[in-house]
A and B are shown apart, each in its own frame.
Chain A
Amino acid sequence: MTVSSTNPAGGARHAHEGTYSGGLLSWVTTVDHKRIGVMYGVSAFFFFLVGGLEALLIRLQLGSPESTLIDPDLYNQLFTMHGTTMVFLAIMPLSAAFFNFIVPLQIGARDVAFPRLNAFSFWVFFLGALFMNASFLFGGAPDAGWFGYANLTSTQYSPGMRVDFWVIGLLVLGVSSIAAALNFIVTIINLRCEGMTLMRMPLFTWMTLITSFLLVMAFPAITVGLVLLMFDRMFGTLFFNPMAGGDVLLWQHLFWIFGHPEVYILLLPGLGMVSEIVPVFSRKPLFGYAFVVYSGILIAFLGFGVWAHHMFSVGLGPVANTVFSAATMLIAIPTGVKIFNWIATLWGGSLRMRTPLYFSLGFIAMFIIGGLSGVMHASAAADLQQTDTYFIVAHIHYVLFGGVIFALFAGMYYWIPKITGRMLNDRLGKLHFWVMVISFNLTFFPQHFLGLHGMPRRTFTYESGLGFETMNLMSTIGSLLLGASMLIFIWNVLRMLRTGEPAGPNPWEGSTLEWSIASPPQHYNFRVLPKVHSRDPLWAEDTMESVPGDDPDVPEPHMPGPSYYPFATAIGIVVMAVGGLTTTLPVVLAGVAVILFGIYGWAFQPLEH
């Protein structure tokens, strides 16, 4: 709490010029985790808007019965790309933006363990995302659903390049995710500052660690599934061809062995953010820290044993269905533990009702609703009624939008002052919150009833007279308002960049190390590395060691120099992807050559200037 006096606001302005200055080339070659974090954040938010526009088109089509606004073909592309974009190009990279910017600061490190690998991860993600979306210009976007069930994805039922874009695009994005996750595992395990034991790590860092382990364990399964599919489509193998003995269910198993841990990959970072924000705005330490950590680990562990609850309707038999039902219900326990811990943290706290806390409370409420409908279809018997209806659509949006997106906005309102050095407007933030929470419920709550009344998902229209009209219209109006709420946020950010008041190092009087340094931090983060003695170093009495300050007498640490090899290697991967897409061997080989050039240049380039 004495932090603001150790770091005058004047230092922040100076740092602002240093951290983000430089032309376009300096962004392409940067290896600074903060700049990479900003690039992740900006591009992920762009794809969040793209995915949102796709959703709005879907809702406009469904606003009235038998609408002809969008034809079935385009509708299939829109719902496939909406799901794929939101999962892989919006939520995951938005979490990655915070991993990048915040985790090294929270553990008292000057960068990640492998700064150039980090730049590589970003560029592979960014170019892979462009590759996937380029499909709109070349014969149409992927249209087989975001989980691309076999054998709808076979060349017989999905001719052309659409599914190829999806398969190869996801393989490329997988490279990015695994590289980033490996980097964060090593960073968190090995670069913690002195005194930062595992059980003193901030919760967001903990959840990043768990998420990264989920990524490196889960992505190989979908990689194999995608490679099988690619071989079926390009080389005529028979993996998913029932006529030759192939098993279409194998795809579902491989996809969901990845797909269910993926749900927690999306969710856990959000849980970590809320676990940071609730204590700071309640002015007390998190209630039951160890329980929150261990319940996160338990969620991740159980998450690997529940994949077949996505497959209750395929007929795996009573034993499998029972086991997967029970395992799925078990996950409600650690999730409930976390919710009670947040509530107990709020209990008796002196609450500061600022925007980050609003979004955190919104998250807790919406996530409980999503969790309850989740437990409903954990029961195989109930799930058979709900599969492929709008009830499922309502559920996943309550956990992924009401849950994850609310948490990510809480994180944005909380950490953007650290990232930019300026405050977002609190009144506009609260307006954003109220419009968002009302329109979100208007959009998705009626979908529970639509689903239970039998409205199927992924169907481009419905007949009039089935009783679907009113609730679909409500949902469409809600979605337009939801889109408008994003404009309030964008306006708030633009306003902040022009006239936002300086944030200072610790505007929220937070307890973790990222608040001990200037906003935005100098490019080296900590001139003198901190040494911590407790979980909340800035709230403890011993802040002198935790906050060594920016002593100008200490020389600036040397940081890794810029490198264009990560970008070059990423280019090589995308060239290879284009070669695979068009099945032209010379292009693939050219891609391999560029990759080799990049890797050798990378390996032999000295790290400092």
Chain B
Amino acid sequence: MSQTEAAAVGMHSATGLPSRKILMWTFIGSECMLFGSLIIVYMVYRGKSLVGPYPADLLNIPFITVTTFVLLMSSLMMVLALAAVQRGDMKWARVWLFMTALFGMTFLGGQVYEFTHFVHEGLTLKTNLFGGSFFLLTGTHGAHVTVGVIWLLSLFFMAQSGRLTQDNAETVEIAGLYWHFVDVVWIVLFTLIYLLV
């Protein structure tokens, strides 16, 4: 909205960049510190659990590799969605926006399955330090994906009702920045939690 806001209050952009985009980049900087702190907590408590189940007993690397791939592909869909909006092809923009959200939801479905399975195997928040730090870290990421899915679906429905057009490419671009960031965070988490188990 910043461009409209800036236009409304009659202000130019001193840098030539839209204010909204600077806002999102700065917010992502702050989010890096948030995930950084959570990752530190996970790493500090790695191998410190006094009772099981331990990570090696539970983590299903092949399964998560598949959902990770799905999430990465959603970033590709996001790129295609933005490209479609930028060239004014709203039909394909709707398709790719929906696909991005769908892939995001698939990833979340995998996480729900994984969490349920772990609880079934006896790992809850209260079981040990692994339980607490694992659920908090991956859960915070899942919450971010959820926000992204809601955002993408909102854009999709706006496109359906004709309220999202080529003029709003910047809106989609900013949602894309957020979505790619959330994906990049998952690559780090996947490496630290699953690959380095």
Contacts and interface: CB of A to CB of B under 8 A. Distances in A.
A529 interface: yes
A220 B10 contact: no
Contact of B17 (A190, A250, A606): A190
Contact of A192 (B14, B23, B27): B14
Contacts of B5: 113-115, 560, 607
Nearest to B4: A607
Contacts of B14: 189-193, 196
A608 to B, nearest CB: 5
A190 B14 CA distance: 5
A314 interface: no
A178 B30 contact: yes
Interface stretch (B67-75, B99-107, B125-133): B125-133
B13 interface: yes
A111 B128 CA distance: 50
A325 to B, nearest CB: 23
Interface in B157-193: none
Nearest to B5: A607
Interface string A185-221: 1100111111010000000000000000000111111
A185 B22 contact: yes
Contacts of B83: none
A565 B93 CA distance: 29
Nearest to B18: A190
B38 A224 contact: yes
Contacts of B41: 224, 228, 239, 250, 254
A237 interface: yes
B23 to A, nearest CB: 5
B27 A182 contact: yes
A235 B124 CA distance: 10
Chain B binding surface, main DSSP class: helix
A560 B34 CA distance: 32
A186 B6 CA distance: 12
Interface string A221-249: 10111011001000111110000111100
Nearest to A557: B10
A235 B10 contact: no
A498 interface: no
B8 interface: yes
Given A110-B11, A239-B129, A191 B30 contact: no
Interface string B106-147: 000000000000000000011011011100100000000000
A190 B12 CA distance: 8
A220 B125 contact: no
B132 A238 contact: yes
Contacts of B12: 194, 529
A594 B7 CA distance: 29
Nearest to B32: A220
Interface residues of B, number: 42
A109 interface: yes
A191 B26 CA distance: 16
Contact of B1 (A186, A238, A603): A603
Q: Chain B CB within 10 Å — which of A244, A250, A254, A257 has the most?
A: A244
Contact of B45 (A185, A245, A558, A606): A245
Given A114-B19, A224-B41, A238 B128 contact: yes
Given A185-B26, A189-B14, A557-B9, A247 B44 contact: yes
Contacts of A190: 6, 13-15, 17, 19, 22
A70 interface: no
B48 interface: yes
Contacts of A245: 45, 48-50, 128-129
B5 to A, nearest CB: 5
A244 B136 contact: no
B158 to A, nearest CB: 9
A244 B17 CA distance: 50
28 contacts: A109-B11, A182-B30, A186-B23, A186-B26, A189-B15, A189-B22, A190-B14, A190-B17, A190-B19, A192-B14, A216-B29, A216-B30, A216-B33, A217-B29, A218-B33, A220-B33, A220-B36, A223-B37, A228-B41, A228-B136, A231-B132, A235-B125, A235-B126, A239-B45, A244-B129, A245-B129, A524-B10, A607-B5
Given A109-B11, A217-B30, 4 more contacts: A191-B11, A225-B37, A529-B11, A529-B12
Interface of A: 109-111, 113-115, 178, 182-183, 185-186, 189-194, 196, 216-221, 223-225, 227-228, 231, 235-239, 244-247, 250, 254, 257, 524, 529, 557-560, 600, 603, 606-608
Instruction: Name the 4 nearest CB pairs between A and B, nearest first.
Output: A237-B132, A220-B34, A220-B33, A224-B37
